[in-house]
Structure 1
Amino acid sequence: MLDRRSIIAGGTASFLCAAGLRAQVLPPQGFATPSGTVPFAPDVFRERRRRVMEALKDGVAVVHGAGPVESGAAVAPPFVQDGDFAWLTGIVDEPGAVLVMAPAERTVREWLLLPSRDVESERWEVERLPLGTELERRTGFSRVARTGGLGSLVTTLAERSKTLHFLGPIVSASAPVPKALELYGKVMQRVPGVSLKDDSGLLPSLRIVKEARELELMRKAMAATARGHLAAMKQVRPGMTERQLKAILEDGFRAGGGEGLAYDSIVATGRNAASLHYTGGGGVIGEKDLILIDAAASVGGYACDVTRTFPASGRFTDEQRASYELVLAAQAAAVAKLKAGVYYEDLVEAAKDVFRKAGRVDDFTHGLGHLVGLDVHDAGDMSKPLPAGAVITVEPGLYVQSANYGIRIEDLYLITPTGSQRLSEGVPRTVEEVEAAMGR
């Protein structure tokens, strides 16, 4: 039988529940972070985590997302999520997030930890979701908690499993200690018998082979990239600044469906093109200059990477043509060897042999290429044979400051069992294709 105290207590509980519901009125989809998983549905990332945990078998693994962007500038750089964390979770708009996986646990095997809310700062920056079912629905995690509990969670799991898995990254001795290793060291000091296992090669081995859905986004990024490069070739005029041409290029990316930049665009004219990662923009394009553009769009967070070099006048001089076609020949020599099972170093030697025979190898001053995917310099061990499904750039070049030019030709290739497919086919590459596109 209900007495007066029970009725009052029940009424109070009902009141608090109702007040709580009013306090927890949630923003509609598209508002507050995390906004959801990007660029795929939560089940895609859940399956990736399942594959990782299947490989680990037991123990505990912690993967930290990127931390907040620290900047005192009026315009802060955009937040970019850590590639491994983004690949495993799809959470790209929450700085300071942490993933914990414990494959041998009976019921809950994965946790997403997010920093605590600061409602006052959210009034200035961005609204964030409270803990609850909406957060779980958007992220695809059945257990979402705050990062303040990370130490106790990992300690408890390590006490049962006795193994801590390090998934990377490996960094140099002069770099800060990775957050996961720092955490593991503290746990091992407090839980006797816990061992540390190096599994830093696991995620690169999974990420290097692209899924069909990843390749679809990279092809869309490539189509947008092609539109931007074509716009730059068609609209360039002597007397423009590099910055003006860069605006035309990036407008083309957006018009072609690009959602962002794969990396900071390089637009370099004349002597500036001999600086490999030129960051200026005030150079004035001369009538006789070669222009080097290393730039690409991204779609769904996936990158591509293309470099083209073309004459401001629309026509290569005989000297420019000879050097350009030598670079193209070096690229062709490397691509001829490109197929599943090849070693990257063999591609490098094939390109260098072309330059050696021409007496120009000293003008080739950088690496031949890199893997591309969710990151423009993507995960994967290039000291091992390259697998089918990997995407790689081949980008030989010649750089001569004294002659006021740099030439680089960079294309994107999907490695297949018997060869490769050039993903950047839509961007003019040969002398004839470039001059025809420029239409001068």
Structure 2
Amino acid sequence: MDNSEFLSRQTHLLHKMQPNSICLLPASGLVTRSRDTEFPFRQDSYFHYLCGFPEPDAWLVLSNHQEYSKGMSVLFCLDKDPTMEIWHGRRVGPKQAKQQYPVNMAFAEDELGERLLDLIDGHQNLYFAQGHNPNADELVFSLLQALRDAPKQSRQAPASLIDSRIILDEMRLFKSTTEIELMRKAAAIATQAHMRAMRFVAADKNEYHLEAEIHHEFAMQGAKYPAYGTIVGAGDNACILHYTENNQVLKDGDLVLIDAGCEWQGYAADITRTFPVSGQFSEQQKQLYELVLRAQLAAFEQIKPNNTIKQASDVAVAVITQGLLDLDILKGDLTDNIKQQNYREFYMHGLSHWLGLDVHDVGNYKIDGQDRPLKPGMVLTVEPGIYIAPDAKVDNKWRGIGIRIEDNLLITTSGYENLTLAAPKTINDIEALMLTKSG
């Protein structure tokens, strides 16, 4: 992503902040996995959004103080250290950071405390995401207290503390042209991974073999990491919504539900497909699968500017509830079943969530207590499902079947663009693709 994108975001944030304000944004730190090893580093999404700097333990400071006509940006980062770099990898360092990243100044991280006192001093408002990073909270509050305790040195702490996420979440909700292209790429890679899994699956392989195929496809196309814990649930494991053990043997006659998406330059894809281990759906599987697909396609018809997610969700609920009644899984009247939410025994999650730098991305779903209208530039998932537990009080032929179909939709001026359209999801398309199994 070009620095001009980051500079545009910084400028937008500075204009949205109240006059004479400063904003502090900490990067992520390393997270211990066990003893003296860490999980792979993933940058904080807010920090990445505003500057793209890829290292841990950094800080970004933005100010619209009147003495800075175009605003001011300062980066603090780990200093160059030949010994540490031999053990843990190269560092950018302040000098190169100033040249390479969209900031006016850059300093070593060990100067942070002293310089932040000077930078914060005299600003009327401090924008900071309290609670987002406990270690950062501790530092910021100690600095504020130091400023409050130093009136004789003519220092002044900000009078108000404002949550920076109020502005940033709304900014992140609407994707730029550059972001959309990155999300198209993430969706395309994830689509190929799901198709690879469909070709590879076979009885007596393990769920983790499918997970490995998916992750391999991600990496081979340049997406080193999944965007979230990959779900590969075969048989009744598909009825566990966030199943990630992925350690059971695949059996003929079972469906396998895969919820997997890669991360491309920070942006997530989030696709779910459900398909038969054998390559062919049984009659009962077909009936439930077609019901979920009908619900998704009906919801799609409601996905357009000025409609709401709730409108789409209500339509999906109505289709699923009527279908469950038709299959004699639910009993009674459609209106009563919807009113009493009886469908929630089999469809217990929401239809949609925002998608972006985080797989469950930021942004309010309501404005002033009302469901917010969809607008061009938003990206969201649409993911109805049906999950019939092994002990559900229904005919035995339905038990243990879990199905979810999930796509990623970009709201456009006229409707939507399905970023994951190429991932097969009709029964005919899935079965046709699976005839080309790789073994």
- Both structures adopt the same fold (TM-score exceeding 0.5): yes
Query: In the TM superposition, what is the alpha-carbon distance from 1:117 to its structure 2 partner?
Result: 5.2
Give distance in 1, aligned partners of 2:79 and 2:362: 30
Letter in 1 for 2:109: T
Match of 1:4 in 2: none
In 1, Cα distance between the equivalents of 2:120 and 2:177? Answer: 36
In structure 2, the CA distance between the partners of 1:226 and 1:197, relative to structure 1 (3 Å rule), is closer
Residue 367 of structure 1 is matched in structure 2 by 350
Answer whether contact 1:164 1:196 (CA < 8 A) is retained. yes
Amino acid in structure 2 at the alignment position of 1:436: A
SS of 2:237's partner is: helix
**Retained in 2: the 8 A contact 1:154–1:187?**
no
Match for residue 419 of structure 1 among 390, 394, 415: 415
Q: Do the aligned partners of 1:327 and 1:409 also contact (CA within 8 Å) in 2?
A: yes
| Residue of structure 2 equivalent to 1:144 | 106
User: Counterpart in 2 of 1:123?
Assistant: 86
Q: Percent identity?
A: 32
Cα 1:317–1:51 shift into 2, 3 Å: same
Is 1:187 the counterpart of 2:144? The answer is yes
Q: Distance in 2 between the 1:54 and 1:178 partners?
A: 28
Cα distance in 2 for residues equivalent to 1:129 and 1:224: 29
Partner of 1:261: helix, strand, or coil? coil
Mapped contact 1:162–1:193 kept (Cα < 8 A): yes
Instruction: Kindly provide the CA deviation profile for residues 40-69 of structure 1, in whole angstroms up to 9, marking residues without a partner as x.
Output: 132321221111111114311111111122
**TM-score of the two chains, using structure 1 as the length reference:** 0.83
1:39-438 paired onto structure 2 within 5 Å: 40-56=1-17, 57-72=19-34, 76-92=38-54, 94-107=55-68, 109-116=72-79, 119-132=82-95, 134-166=96-128, 168=129, 177=134, 179-180=136-137, 183-184=140-141, 186-187=143-144, 189-190=148-149, 191=156, 194-357=159-322, 358=324, 359=330, 360-384=343-367, 385=372, 386-402=374-390, 403-438=399-434
Judge conservation of contact 2:120–2:158 (CA < 8 Å) in 1. Answer: no
Give the TM-score taking structure 2 as reference length: 0.83
CA distance in 2, matches of 1:155, 1:340: 46
Q: Distance in 2 between matches of 1:170 and 1:128?
A: 28
CA distance in 2, matches of 1:382, 1:158: 33
State the distance in 1 between where 2:37 and 2:284 align: 44
Q: Distance in 1 between matches of 2:48 and 2:157?
A: 33
Q: Partner of 1:285: helix, strand, or coil?
A: coil
Gap change, CA 1:342 and 1:146, over 3 Å in 2: farther
Alpha-carbon distance in structure 2 between the residues aligned to 1:436 and 1:264:
28
Q: Which has the larger radius of gyration?
A: 1
- Per the TM alignment, residue 415 of structure 1 is displaced from its structure 2 partner at its CA by 0.9
Matched position secondary structure for 2:33: coil
Which amino acid is 1:426 matched to?
Answer: A
Q: What does residue 24 of structure 1 align with?
A: none
Q: Report the CA distance shift for 1:272/1:73 in structure 2 as closer, same or farther (over 3 A).
A: farther
Deviation of 1:98 after TM superposition, in Å, equals 0.8
**Residues 181-226 of structure 1, C-alpha deviations (whole Å, 9 max, x = no match):** 8615741544366222344321111111111111112111222112
Q: CA deviation at 1:347?
A: 2.8
Distance 2:361 2:181 in 1: 17
1:144-172 deviation line (CA, Å, top 9, x unaligned): 01334434444334432222123x3666x
Matched position secondary structure for 2:417: strand
Cα 1:85–1:130, aligned 2, differ >3 Å: closer, same or farther? closer
Q: Which consecutive unaligned segments of at least 5 residues does structure 2 have?
A: 150-155, 325-329, 331-342, 391-398
What is the number of equivalent residue pairs in this alignment? 394
AA at the equivalent of 1:368: L
Which stretch of structure 1 is more off in the superposition, 45-54 or 65-74?
65-74
- Please provide the CA RMSD for this pair: 2.4
Name the amino acid aligned to 2:430: V
CA positional deviation for 1:248: 2.3
Amino acid at match of 1:236: V
Is the deviation greater in 359-368 or in 301-310? Answer: 359-368
Partner SS state of residue 91, structure 2: coil
Matched letter for residue 351 of structure 1: A
Given that 1:292 and 1:408 are in contact with CA atoms closer than 8 Å, whether structure 2 keeps it comes out as yes
Cα distance in 1 for residues equivalent to 2:178 and 2:217 = 24
Secondary structure at the residue paired with 1:123? helix
Distance 1:126 1:194, change over 3 A: same
Q: Which amino acid aligns with 1:159?
A: D
Q: Alignment partner of 1:96: what SS?
A: coil
